[in-house]
Amino acid sequence: MEDNCIFCKIIKKEIPSAIVYEDDKVIAFKDINPVAPIHILVVPKKHIKSIAELKSEDEALIGKIFTVINKVAEEQGVKEKGFRVIANCGEDGGQEVPHLHFHLLAGRKLGEKII
């Protein structure tokens, strides 16, 4: 946990969020500035800055995050129609919050593909 990290504060319930899933290792909550009808952030509780900071010991955690992404997609009713998962990494990747997170976007046709 990092004292001045906004996502650590959400994890510690020091600031409110709309939590849609939580277990001992992973939390998922609604993005405060949604760009799609479903926009949820899936976040490890461990403070890892970004994909670039992952260690081999985090491999199981990343696997778990994708299990949670599927679970949340199913619960939100978007698993069949589809969704997009985005993880911005570092400055050129456009990452604004330096605590690893995966955006789960769904609920509309996501047209603005860059790849």
Alpha helices in the chain (DSSP H): 6-11, 59-75
Enter the tokens of residue 87. 């993880």
Query: Which of ligand AMP, Zn ion, none does residue 88 bind to, with CB < 5 to 8 Å depending on kind?
Result: ligand AMP
Binding-site member from 3, 4, 24, 33 for ligand AMP (CB under 6 A): 33
Binding-site member from 45, 99, 101, 103 for Zn ion (CB under 5 A): 99
Binding to Zn ion by CB under 5 A, coded x per residue (else -) over 39-68, reads --------x---------------------
- Taking the least distance from each CB to Zn ion, the nearer of 14 and 75 is 14
C-alpha distance from residue 61 to each of 1, 16, 67 (Å): 16, 24, 10
DSSP designation for 38: E
- Minimum CB distance to ligand AMP, residue 103 (Å): 6
Q: CB count, 10 Å around CB of 22?
A: 13
**Contact by Cβ (8 Å): 45, 24:** yes
Asked about 99 being catalytic, the answer comes back as no
* Residue appearing with tokens 């491999």: 59
Binding-site member from 71, 88, 107, 110 for ligand AMP (CB under 6 A): 88
Q: Which is the catalytic residue, given 47, 99, 101, 103? A: 101
